[in-house]
Amino acid sequence: MIRIANLTKSFGLKTAVNDLSFEVQRGEVLGFLGPNGAGKSTTMRMITGFLPPTAGSITVGGHDVVESPLEAKRLIGYLPENAASYPDMSVHGFLAFAAELRGLAGAAKKKAVARVVDLCFLESVLYQQIDTLSKGYKHRTCLAQALIHDPEVLIMDEPTDGLDPNQKHEVRNLIREMGRTKAVIFSTHILEEVDAACSRAIIIDRGRIVANGTPEELKAMSELAGAVTLGVEGTAPQPVAERLAALPAVARVEPLANGMLRSYPKDKLASAELARSIMELAARETWKVAALRTEEGHLDEVFRRITLPDTIKQQRT
């Protein structure tokens, strides 16, 4: 649905987005991650046709965003950063206005407004002026605007920013739900959202893609991924650590603050073998095993590692 090729955007001398290429299919939810100022919003503004790209091309549903902007824009629902909306309008007036600009009129307009009001739980504030609403409601009003024409492509810039945990949960569910039938891109810097809602994630830093994969693949990039953590009762940790380190599959053993021992595998792909060999060892030594688990890896560790300035410099040179 969305195809981005060699997309570049410069503001004066500063390059905000640098040679970005990726695709999003229908039925996919793409999480767009990156530190502040990485170029997430700029990329989304270009996809939605607000900013013209300096170089490269964007097609949405087969329509080039620069060549035939109206056709592309018709397919897109967009939730801008900070969920801007007209403060002096009522929620109903605002949604009706969005519906009209989307070419809906009469009964179709009424139906569309009623549908999104229901979807975003706006019933109780329908005739309130937008600037009297709480942040959560404002946000959902703008989200409702993005969904009003049941778009095939949904682009959301930090859709859960400023929401309380319950609202975040609702919005994530909504994103997952939308992702079944639409192509969805959303940006966030909350990493747990990637797990909760994405089928794929891209991490960008300084305008470049530095990682692209499913949440599982990204987590596997973590140093922690595949490590086995073992807790033993009644035996001093030191000798246990020595025995673990002697296993052929173990690269190194790290004692944790809570007395547990973490063994890192030599080969990340063979973490099952590592767990098995540790279990066998524990059985042979008759240790009282209190805990044994294989680590999945943390996204935030991956994120920090690949977006930290120094690491990036090393990678580039």
Binding site for other proteins (CB under 8 A): 9-12, 45, 48-52, 70, 73-74, 76, 78, 80-82, 84-89, 93, 97-98, 100-103, 105, 129, 142, 145
Q: Which is nearer to other proteins, 9 or 262 (CB)?
A: 9
- In angstroms, rounded to a whole number, what is the distance separating the alpha carbons of residues 171 and 29? 13
At closest approach, how far in Å is the CB of 316 from other proteins?
25
Instruction: Yes or no: say if 172 and 163 are a contact pair by the CB < 8 Å rule.
Output: no
**Shortest distance, position 11 Cβ to other proteins, whole Å:** 4
Cα 283 to Cα 181, 233, 300: the distances in Å are: 50, 14, 35
Task: Tell me phi and psi for residue 184, to 5 degrees.
Answer: -120, 135
How far apart are CB 52 and other proteins at their closest, in Å?
6
Distance CA 54, CA 149 (A): 30
Shortest separation between residue 226's beta carbon and other proteins, angstroms: 43
What tokens appear for 220 in the block? Answer: 């596997």
Query: In the bound complex, what is the minimum distance in angstroms from residue 29's beta carbon to other proteins?
Result: 20
Cβ proximity to other proteins: between 38 and 253 the closer is 38
Q: For residues 117 and 123, give the distance between their C-alpha atoms in angstroms, rounded to a whole number.
A: 6
268 in Cβ contact with 220 (< 8 Å)? yes
Closest to other proteins by CB, 72 or 122: 72
Provide, for the chain, the percentages of residues in helix, strand and coil under a 3-state DSSP scheme, each rounded to the nearest 5: 40, 30, 30
Cβ closest to other proteins, residue 116 vs residue 275: 116
The distance of Cα 161 from the centroid of its chain, to the nearest Å, equals 12
Comparison of 43 and 263: residue with beta carbon closer to other proteins: 43
Beta bridge partners of 151: none
Closer CB to other proteins, 102 or 219, in the complex: 102
| Residue 209 β-bridge partners | 204
The CA distances from residue 299 to 98, 161, 312, in Å, are 37, 19, 17
Q: How far is the CB of 225 from other proteins (least distance, A)?
A: 39
Q: Min. distance of Cβ 211 from other proteins in angstroms?
A: 27
H or E element, residue 18: strand 14-24
Q: Give the residue with the Cβ less far from other proteins, 23 or 86.
A: 86
Q: What is the DSSP letter of 48?
A: T
